Structure 1
C-alpha cells in the first residue's frame, strides 16, 4: 500500500430535483499532446472554461513516475500550458494528485516517494505554486510527519487547505497515526495546523470541509492498541476541527472490500459506495451519522473512480471487470436499489470528474498514442 496511487478526486454534487435522468452525449475531443504514458488523476474546474488536469507520466526505462500538470481552455479548445513538477534529487518519483486555482495563481499537490523499495520508502506531500502562464514559482513541503498522505486539497477564504493523514513511522504506515488539517496562504506560508492523534483515514478517502467541520469517509486506520482498532475498516465520520473531537463516526464496511468511494448529498448526508467481487453496495448516511439505507446489487465494475448526483440518480464511474477494462458510468436509482443504465466511456479513461451537468475524462484514442480531454453531457 506504499506505492503512489493516482487518485481521482471526489465528484462535485448537484442539487436533487425529481426529474427523469437524461441521456449522455459526448462533445468533440480536445487533443492534449501529452505522452502516451500519461495518466490523469484529477480534472478540476478553474473558472472561465479553464480546467486544470493533474497526473503523471510513467518512465519504463527507470521505471518510475513523474508529475505533470496541464491547463486546458475548453472555449478555445487548446492546452494553454503543460508543466512538469520535479521531485527532490534524492527521491525516487512523484505523482500529481490535484491542481487548483486561487486568484491568479495555480497550485499543484504532488506526492513524492522517497525510495524504490516499498519497505524503505516514505511518502511526502509537496505544494507547488504556478503562474498563470505555467511557470513554476515556488514549492513547499507539507511537513507534518514521517509519512504523509492527502484526503482533500482545496482553495477557499481561509487559504489553501489540505486534509490528510500522517504516521510517525514511514514504513507500512507504522507508529502513531493522526489526521491533520494544514492551511497555507498564497505565498505558501503556513497559517494553521491542526492534528488529531486518534487515527487517520487512508489515501483515497473522500473529505469535505465546511468551516471547522470535516466530513470524511474512507478506510480508517486506528492506532495500535486503541479501542477503535476493534472496528478498523471503512467508516464515515464528522469531526469538529475547532474543538478537535469527533462528533460521530459510523462503521460502513469491513476491510475486505475491493474499492470504496463517497459523495455528499444536498441534505447534508453522504452516499458511501463499496465494491466487493461482483457486488456493489451503497450505504446512505444521514447528516446525524445514522444509516438511512443500505442496498446491494450485482455490478460489472471493479473500481470506484468518481461519484456524482444527478436528479434522483447516483452516478458512479468505475473500471469494468474482465479483459477489456473499459471505463463505465452507472446510473443508480437509490429508491429502487438498482442499476438503471450503463454507459461505456471507452478504454483507458482516467481522471474522471463531475462538474455540474458535465462529466470530464481523459481518454486514449484508438491507437493509444494520442490522449484527449472528453466532455460528456449528463
Structure 2
C-alpha cells in the first residue's frame, strides 16, 4: 500500500446502506459513514478541484464569514455577473448566476424545453427535471465506441425525430469524452433551426491547457445556452454556484424572471468578488488537475481486470472486466480500503459494470490504484 496509507483497518467501515437507494445521486460521504469515520475514507466519488480555493482564499472566506452570515445578498444580480464576467471573458449581461447549476437546469427544462433529444448515459438531472417525459427521446451512445457522441449521427437522429431541442455535455458526464470546438461549431451551424441547444460545459476547464469553451461564440448562435457548474471546476460545491450563458434576450428574460430574489447566498457572492484576484492561482490549480488525471489514467490503464476510458475531464469512467458488479466493487472498496467511488449502475444507458472515479491529487490517487489492483487480484 502507498506509504501515506499504511494504516490497516481493524474493522470494516460501517455504512448506511439504505441511503444508496433513496436518490439517483450518490449520497454524501458523511451521511454514509458518519463523522466519526470520515477521516478513514477518501472520497473519489464527488467531483472537485482539490487545489482551489487555495489556503489564502479559504482563510479570507473564513475571516469574512462572521460579517456575511449577518448580511443579505445583493438584490442586484449584475454586480455578481460582472465579477464572474471578469474571469470568463463574456459580457456580464449574457450571464445568469444560479444556486448551483441544478437550479438553472430545472428552470431551463421547465420553461424553454418543449421536447428534447438527450444522449445517454448522462447527468441524471437532465432527464429527471423534464416536465413531460413523453417528449424526451434518448439517444443511446454506443458501448463499443466507449460511449462517444458522434455529432453527425446525433444531428441526423434529431432531424429524423423532429425534435426542437438538443442536449450536449462536453466533456461528457459520466464518460469524460471530449468534443472539439470545431466539431461543435459545425453541429451548431447545422442545427440553427433548433429552438434550443443546451450545452453543459461544467468540466470544460479540464479539457486542455487552453480552455476550449464555446462561450466566446454565444452571439453567433442565438439558440445556444451554456450551463456550467462552479462546484466542479472551482471546487466549491457547498457554495452552490452555477451559471448559464446565452445571447438570446428572450431566454435571458425568462430565466431571470423565474429566479427568486437572493438566490445566491452572501458567502458565494463574496467568493465571486475574489475570482479576478485569484485567477492566476486558479489556472495553476486547473492545470495541475489535468496533469494528475493524465497520470491517474496511465496508472489505471496498467491494471488488469478493468477497461479505462479516455477522459478530458477531472474524472475517469472505468468498466469492470472481472466478476464484481459496480455496486459490489463500490461496497468492497469502501469497507475494506476506505475508498468511495461512484457506482454508475443507475445511469440510464449504462450497465452494472461501470464506476466513475475523480482525481483527488497524486498522493490520494495512489490509494485508488492500489485498492482496485488488490480487488482485481482477489477475484477469480
State TM-score, norm by structure 1.
0.28
Structure with the largest fraction of helix? 2
State TM-score, norm by structure 2.
0.28
Structure with the largest fraction of strand? 1
